Each structure stands twice: as structure tokens, then as C-alpha cells.
Amino acid sequence: MDLLVAYDRALDEFGRRVHRVSAERWNSPTPCVEWSVRDLVNHLTVEQLWAPWLLRGATLDEVGDRFDGDQLGDDPVRRWDRAARGSREAFHRPGALDGRVHTSAGVMAAADYGWQMTCDLTVHAWDLARGIGDDDRLDEELVDVVYETIRAQIDSWRGAGIVDPPVKVPDSAPTQDRLMGLVGRRP
């Protein structure tokens, strides 16, 4: 699957669930034990706000602290939608994936950054679904490509503290369950 197709599907999976958060669920816990539903949506909103800057070549210092703290305000869904739209436009800009981007992990290929964003959106779409009591089934083709992407990099990601220790899942389990177990979730 092409990166942009995967990114768009992951963005849509997460966004669909943002639109399903009821007023009483914003403070609900998620599988990310340190984050409520609101914290999780804010985290992904911030990531989307950073993307246009990074894909244009901005350094971390140039972006600074403009996206620190709560970015959701009184209308979390609208703020998410705006950030997601800007990020999608940035990723689809001709040549956006050809360069390099500055990240907290160092300078990397923009395409690698795109895959990291895609993986994060996909896993957190599942987290958000669980946090709001929604259907947690994800696009199967997306899950397949994200599983293979993460599996190839899991040791370095785990070493960097990006993912939790794995949860044992049978080899015969569906790919989505194996993906969630790989990144430390209990499917």
C-alpha cells in the first residue's frame, strides 16, 4: 500500500472516532494509561499541527513551543478537523515526501516520518475506540501494512521507549490483535 493511501486511511480511522466522542467520554480512560480520551485526541492533534511545519523543513527550534499544552479548546472535534486537514494537505503537497524532516529522534527521511505518523494514527485509533466504547475494528489492509512496518522496526522503537513491552498474542490471532499485542495493548 502506498504511504499516502495508508496515511489517509489512518487519519480517517482516527478522525471517524473523534467524531464519535460523546460529551461524557472526553475524560474516559484509554489503553494509554497516562491519557484520557481528551489527552489522546490532543496528542494526535498536536502531531498533525507539527506535520506542515516539519514537511516544509522547519527545525524543532523554529516550531518552538507553539503547540505545547491543550490544543483542543472548547471544540475538540473542530480543532482536530482543522489540524487533520492541514496535515493531509501538507503530506499531499508535491515533493513533501522527498525531503528530510527534523524530529525529536533526529533528522529522518520524510517518508519514514510519514510511516511513523501512519502507525501512530492507526494504533491510537484503536486506543480511542476502546476509550469511547466504539467499534475497534480497523481497516484490514491498513492494519496489515502497519503491522509489517512496526514489526520491522519494533526493536528500535521499543529501545527508544516509543512502544510498551509486548503482550503475548497467539500467532493464529487476527493481524489486528497481533499488531496491538506487538505494541503492548491487550486486544
Q: Which of 68, 71, 92, 97 is nearest to 82 (CA)?
A: 71
Task: State residue 59's pLDDT score.
Answer: 96
Residue 68, classified by CB atoms within 10 Å of its CB into exposed (0-12), middle (13-18) or buried (19+), is exposed
Q: How far is CA 109 from CA 37, 135, 183, in A?
A: 31, 34, 23
Render pLDDT for 18-71 as a digit per residue (tens, 0 to 9): 999 999 999 999 999 899 999 999 999 999 999 999 999 999 999 999 999 999
Separation of alpha carbons 53 and 116, rounded Å: 16
List of domains in the chain: 3-138 (1.20.120.450)
Mean pLDDT of 116-143: 97
Task: State residue 70's pLDDT score.
Answer: 97
Q: Is the pLDDT of residue 159 over 90?
A: no
Q: Is the pLDDT of residue 1 over 90?
A: yes
Task: State residue 162's pLDDT score.
Answer: 77
Separation of alpha carbons 178 and 187, rounded Å: 8
Residues 6+ apart with CB under 8 A from 183: 123, 150, 163, 164, 166
Render pLDDT for 70-127 as a digit per residue (tens, 0 to 9): 999 999 999 999 999 999 999 999 999 999 999 988 999 999 999 999 999 999 999 9
Task: State residue 118's pLDDT score.
Answer: 98
The pTM (predicted TM-score) of the whole model is: 0.96
Q: How far is CA 51 from CA 2, 37, 66, 143, 179, in A?
A: 18, 22, 13, 22, 25
